[in-house]
Amino acid sequence: MAKLARVQFATTLPGPKPICLVGTRSTTGIANLAPFSSITHLGSNPLLIGMITRPDVVQRNTLQNIIDTESWTLNHVTSDTVDRAHQCSAKYPADVSEFVATGLTEHTHKGVIAPFVKECPIRYALTLEGIIDIPANGTKLIIGRFQLADIPEESFSEDGYISITEYDSLASTALDTYFTITEHKRLPYARAPKSD
C-alpha cells in the first residue's frame, strides 16, 4: 500500500476512538494543540491515561512540550470544534500557536502549565508519569497521571459516569473521519452467578 493508504487502513481498523485536542505549552510559553485519537485509560487507582505518539523522526512539538513541562491537557472534540481541531493537525512551526491559527480560545487553571480549550466542555489535565518506547515502530506510549477535571457538574452522576453524548464528544478513525456518538444502553456491572 502507499504510505497514506496504509495509515488510513491501520487507523480505521480498530474502529472509532475518542478524539481529543492535546494542549501543551513550550518552555518559551507558546501554547500548542494537536488532535490525538490513540488515547485510553490505563487504570483507575491511580488514574492513568495512555496516549500513543507517532515516531519522533521529525520535530514533535506535543511530545517535546510534554517531556519539557510534564504537563498536558485532553480536551474532547465536539461538533462545534471539529473543523478547527482538524486544522490543528497541520504542521505549524513551533513558534506558532494553534490557538491563534485556528481561533480556539486558551483557558488556564492555576497549577496547570498546559492550556485547556475553552470551547471543549469536557477537559482534563495530566502530569507525566512515564514514557515507554515501542521499538517495533518507533512510537511511544506517554503515560499521564490525572491531575484535575474541568467538566460541567451536571455531566456526571454519583456513580462516576460521564455523559459524553450529552456534551457532544466525537470519535474518529483514520486521519480525517469523525463520528457522533449515540449511547446504545447501560448495563449493570456483570457478576458471575453464585454457585450453591
185 domain-assigned: no
The CATH number of whichever domain residue 20 belongs to comes to 2.30.110.10
In this prediction the pTM is: 0.92
How many structural domains compose the chain?
1
Indicate whether 193 belongs to any domain. Answer: no
Let me know if 171 is exposed, middle or buried by CB neighbors in 10 A (0-12, 13-18, 19+). Answer: middle
Q: What is the pLDDT of residue 4?
A: 82
What range does the domain containing 58 cover?
3-180
- Would residue 188 count as lying in a domain? no
Block mean pLDDT (10 aa), the chain, length 196: 85 89 97 95 95 81 96 98 97 94 97 98 97 95 97 85 91 89 89 84
Beta strands at 20-25 and 39-44: parallel, antiparallel or unpaired: unpaired
Which cell goes with 181?
Answer: 456518538
Short-list 16, 154, 151, 186, CA closest to 76: 151
Query: Which residue has cell 519522533?
Result: 56
Q: Is residue 87 part of a domain?
A: yes
146/43 Cα distance (integer angstroms) = 11
